[in-house]
Amino acid sequence: MTMKKIVRTTALIIIIILAFLLAYFFEPLFLRRSYIERVTTLEIPRTAPIVEYQFGITSFGIQSFFAKLELSQEEHAALKRYFIVSEEYLEDFRRMKQDFGYTSINVDDIAEIGWIDRLTRRMSISLVGTSWWIQSIIITTNEGEHFLYVFYH
């Protein structure tokens, strides 16, 4: 190999690594919302801002593990029909907060909570399959705020 080929190969490897790191740390907002919409199979309103977001890289690619979207009253009303609303989900939400280290909303501040979940199966690059439990939670706080939470695990 000539010195020119070695330099080109090294530069290409560095560019690939940098592109991967950029995708990891600066994933565009529209990719995140579309990913959340695809995974939850809910029609996420385009006007719903993503308030919090946590994701990681696995052998399956970039995977979201937690997302919180703020909803307007109208968006909440449109999405609520897909959820089972029950007080019994408060304890489940408390457990989800512990599992994800999430602390920005107190369970005592929740006026209404709805829950849906589904199980999916994916194959990784190494042809190993795994199941993902996707839990979507819609919340109304005592202050009248509305949020959609999505947990992937």
What does each of the 153 residues of the chain score in pLDDT, given as a tens digit? 688 888 999 999 999 988 777 766 665 555 577 777 877 888 888 888 888 877 665 555 555 577 889 999 999 999 999 998 888 888 888 777 665 666 667 788 889 999 988 777 655 555 555 666 788 889 999 999 999 988 876
Residue in 89, 84, 44 with CA at minimum distance from that of residue 67 = 44
**Tokens 């993503």 sit on residue:** 50
Tell me if 69 sits within 8 A of 30, measured CB to CB.
no
pTM of the model: 0.69
Residue 19: phi and psi, rounded to 5, are -65, -40
**Tokens 């089972």 sit on residue:** 84
